[in-house]
Structure 1
Amino acid sequence: MKLQELQKRTNLTLLIDGWEDLLKRSLYGLVAAQVNQEPVALGLADLTGKRGSAESIFEMAVNHIDSMGLGNGKRFICTTTDNPTMMISFRRILETKFPWLITLPCFLHQLNMTIGEIIAYSLMKKTLIQSTRIVTFFNSSHHWGGQLKLEAKKAGYHTGTEEEL
């Protein structure tokens, strides 16, 4: 994509994600996304020395937006980030500096955190281990797996194609 084409786009969503690589560097990526358009990487920054603070991420984001000719951020309507405390602070800074932006935590990150908290309970761990043993048994046994599919069919559950039964 040509830079001029990106600069004509409006109603963009700013996606920001951070991670630590194998060398323990604190990396952050910035992407401009839009419905029915290919997302465009605006930049990747190593914020290791700055500890990835909300202020340093904001500065990085503004610098990358400026370097792509999207200057004042008016082409963006929304931003999505993961949801650790530092990114919540970052979204607050964005809301102050760019009050028109809708700031959202990433739904999938939220779901992952919620599931992680649920399975951290000892009863859930035990249930998950037992369920995994049962599923593994039936998946590894052709005969008993077939019997399970027949019982599921009798009970009215669809478990696959008719040819499998």
Structure 2
Amino acid sequence: MQDAEDIQEIQPPPTPEVSKGKKVLQQHKKGKTIGTFFMPRATPGGQLSIKSVMQSKEAKEKVDLAVVKWMIDASIPFIAANSAYYQTMFDAAYSFGTGYKAPNFYDLCGYLLTKNVEQVKNFINSFRTTWKETGCTIMADGWTDQQRRTLINFLAYCPRGTIFLKSVDASDASKTAEMLYKLFREVVLFVGVQNVVHFITDNAANYVVAGRLLEREFPTLYWSPCAAHCLNLMLHDMGKLDEQSILVQKDALRAIVTSKEWTLSAYAKESKAKKIVDLVLDSIFWKECATIVQLTEPLVRVLRIVDSDERPAMGYLWDSQLHKNLHAAGYWLNPAYQYNSLDLEKHRHATSGLLDVIERYSYANPDLMSNLTGEMRLFHKAEGDFGRVSAIRDRDVMLLDE
């Protein structure tokens, strides 16, 4: 019996498809046709043999093992494989071909790092074109690290996307509203006063004062508290209450404490257990649980809206604490509400908020103001393109920024 290595693979005779492919290549070389340099991959004559498939699998596993050994040795977490640049790195190395030498430590922390920083800066600067066209919202996200330092991340949002601007150790600046205001002012000037429409911060008292100082200096800028932060604080306070919502487990809990297994167990005879049983069987207790759920459920639903990346919250939430003219304008311009007469009637004052925004951004230009108010009438009456079948169909479907 021959060894597997001595067995010779016998290729089948050329099929009509293979012969046709060769003819096409010959014609291409002669300039007779455009043709293609690639043969169909699944033709009978072009299929890989079992031996070559196994060799390819072994070769891939060898590379995979080399990658994982490097990650283990360098203490790189495996979650790094989820990076958008992970596969791109290997594709680039493969396209280079054999002989590629990876950059050393000095290259990585030297000119390559500098070049990457330049690319990031250029990428951020490319957003300025969109900022000039649509304006942007600056978000100040404050948090406290393990060293109890107050850090603030600044991000800029526009229809093109959200980008990180910078992170600041504001341990000292956050102590007074005046220092916070100076810090926020620097960020606004960096982005460009003419590009900033909205500035969002936490709802602490010193942040509120700093936001109002910004509005006073920059008339075209609106400040508002972060809706997600406000709701998180409310839910955090509710979470300190002794009563927790176990309403969904009502039937299951009652079934447990009335079951034969429970009544015959040693636990059922303990005084604490008896108190719990009385509570679980108390109808007043469950009514109070239902009341708590009724209070918190709408808050959680709103929190999911404002803390979601799926759609912008502007135009959906604006009443009460978020009652800013900019939010009112977003509400009025939302087709989902504009053509709901009952809902719009309850918030007729939203029109005044929109007019305030128009007056602020028309820069005392009467022609521009007239054009904008004219567009308001077309939109409100669903005339022109606003009355098209497609526009009517998409009122409740498309996102506002689309």
**Length-normalised TM-score, structure 1:** 0.65
What is the CA-CA distance between 1:34 and the residue it aligns to? Answer: 1.0
Q: Is the 8 A contact 2:185 2:214 kept in 1?
A: no
- Where 1:39 maps in the other structure, the secondary structure is strand
Unaligned runs of 5+ in 2: 1-121, 257-402
Percent identity of equivalent pairs: 21
Match runs of 1:81-96 below 5 Å:
81-96=201-216
The residue that corresponds to 1:43 in the other structure is 166
- State the Cα deviation string for residues 35-61 of structure 1 (Å, max 9, x = none): 2x2212121111223344322222223
Q: Is the 8 A contact 1:42 1:65 kept in 2?
A: no
Match runs of 1:1-165 below 5 Å:
2-8=123-129, 9-10=131-132, 11-35=135-159, 37-66=160-189, 68=190, 70-71=191-192, 73-121=193-241, 125-126=242-243, 128=244, 131=246, 134=249
- State the Cα deviation string for residues 77-122 of structure 1 (Å, max 9, x = none): 111112111111111111111122121111111112222334445x
- Where 1:4 maps in the other structure, the secondary structure is helix
Greater fraction of residues in helix: 2
Amino acid at match of 2:123: K
Q: Is the 8 A contact 1:26 1:52 kept in 2?
A: no
Q: Is the 8 A contact 2:137 2:196 kept in 1?
A: yes
Amino acid at match of 2:219: P
Q: 1:80 to 1:133 in 2, by over 3 A?
A: same
Amino acid at match of 1:29: N
- Where 1:22 maps in the other structure, the secondary structure is coil
Question: 2: CA distance between counterparts of 1:26 and 1:51?
Answer: 7
Q: 1:62 to 1:18 in 2, by over 3 A?
A: same
Amino acid at match of 2:153: G
Greater fraction of residues in strand: 1
Amino acid at match of 2:203: N
Question: 2: CA distance between counterparts of 1:4 and 1:25?
Answer: 29
Q: 1:115 to 1:14 in 2, by over 3 A?
A: same
Q: Is the 8 A contact 2:139 2:156 kept in 1?
A: yes
Question: 2: CA distance between counterparts of 1:46 and 1:25?
Answer: 7
Greater relative CO, 1 or 2 (CA 8 Å, sep 6+):
1
Q: Is the 8 A contact 1:12 1:75 kept in 2?
A: yes
**Length-normalised TM-score, structure 2:** 0.29
Amino acid at match of 1:90: A
**What is the aligned-residue RMSD (CA, Å)?**
2.8
Amino acid at match of 2:146: L
Q: 1:17 to 1:3 in 2, by over 3 A?
A: closer
The residue that corresponds to 2:273 in the other structure is none
Aligned length: 130
Question: 1: CA distance between counterparts of 2:188 and 2:223?
Answer: 16
